[in-house]
Amino acid sequence: MLRRVPRWIVAVLLIVVIGGLLTACGSAEDYPQTTLESAGPHNDSILGVYSLVWYGSIIVFFLVEGLLIFSVFKFRGEPKTAHGRPVPVHGNNRLEIIWTVIPAIILAIIAVPTLQVISELSEAPGDDAMVINVIGHQFFWEFQYPDLGVNTTNELHIPVGQRIDLRLDSADVIHSFWVPQLAGKTDAIPGRDNRMWFEADAPGTYLGQCAEFCGLAHYQMLMTVVAESQEDFDAWVAEELAPPPAEGDPEEGLAIVEAQCAACHAIEGTSAQGQVGPALTGFANQELIADVIENTPENLAAWLDDPQAIKPGTAMPDLPLSEADIINLVTYLETLNGESE
């Protein structure tokens, strides 16, 4: 016959198990996409409901498991039937009412603040909010500042303490915009104008991603939100609106193409005859770069500088190009109108 396990051993085992679980906890530095360290009022509201449910679940867990363990030890010596099973109990109205009413009360306690937070977060952010259009693409994010005339890719700059009104849309499939420390998830759906808002309490860099499976490179559809002081934000806007750098030398650009691009791309009239990537003979007449961003000198420079940031998963390598190389390449490629060189 099995010996009875001392209660102190059970208590020690429980402490060890709980301690082991707690070691999985970490800070935002260890887990930059944690939802448990809020950085704005939008996520504060969500975290409040989450905490209510979490701590309530802990209480319910220990009550239920404690009652279960108590019952096992308390009634294991009770009389049994001829088949060795416990004697069945047929109905107990009082108990049935109790275990029906208590869960109903618990659900009500959770439902009321949940509905309040949903209503609060659904309200328009106000006329003083900064409007930013967010467009999801396979597999990158495009951010448009209509009031400032600035467009960016995968990096969203916002001033601290400023409420941000995000207008979400998609150019292809359903995506989901999610920056865990600032706000909850909201879908970007083709043809539908979804809205959400958030606000950063302190300067910092907050990581986000697409939270809706959208294709093979979904895992690379990341974004960065840079929250900065109003002064730093204004300086960033001024830098983005600054005129493009001085025009480069197309002959130097051609030399770079023949040295580093000829193995993959073909350009009529040159030594570049690669068949791996698309031909570039009529590049200046193309509307899009890599089928994802508008063909402008600024976008082309960004593409040459870091193609993975524009189109994650692209076969285009990250070439070791200096700023002068990029300027010369942009100048040369903008001359390719389809005519033989």
| Residue-wise pLDDT tens digits, 163-176 | 999 999 998 899 99
Q: Residue 260 has what DSSP assignment?
A: I
Q: Are residues 135 and 209 part of one domain? A: yes
Residue 38 lies in a domain: no
Tell me the CATH number at 310: 2.60.40.420
User: Which one of 210, 241, 272 terminates a domain?
Assistant: 241
pLDDT at 266: 84
pLDDT at 164: 92
Range of the domain at 211: 130-241
Residue 304 lies in a domain: yes
pLDDT at 4: 65
pLDDT at 189: 94
Q: Are residues 267 and 221 part of one domain? A: no
pLDDT at 232: 93
Q: Are residues 268 and 231 part of one domain? A: no
User: Which one of 174, 207, 241 terminates a domain?
Assistant: 241
Q: What are phi and psi of 60, to 5 degrees?
A: -60, -40
Q: Residue 277 has what DSSP assignment?
A: S
Residues 6+ apart with CB under 8 A from 248: 324, 327, 328, 329, 330, 331, 332
pLDDT 10s digit of each residue in the chain, 341 long? 445 667 777 777 777 777 666 665 655 566 667 777 877 888 888 888 888 888 888 888 888 888 888 887 777 776 666 666 766 667 778 888 888 898 899 888 888 888 888 888 888 788 889 999 999 988 888 899 999 988 888 889 999 999 999 999 998 899 999 999 988 889 999 989 899 999 999 999 999 999 999 888 888 888 999 999 999 999 999 888 876 666 788 888 888 888 888 878 888 888 888 887 788 888 888 888 887 888 888 888 889 988 888 888 888 888 888 888 888 888 888 888 755 44
- Interval 137-148: pLDDT, tens: 888 888 999 999
Distance, CA of 75 to CA of 46 (rounded, Å): 43
Among 200, 194, 189, smallest CA distance to 158 is for: 200
Distance, CA of 204 to CA of 261 (rounded, Å): 38
Among 158, 165, 166, 164, smallest CA distance to 136 is for: 166
105-117: b (≥16 Cβ within 10 Å) or e = eeeeeeeeebeeb
Residue 274 lies in a domain: yes
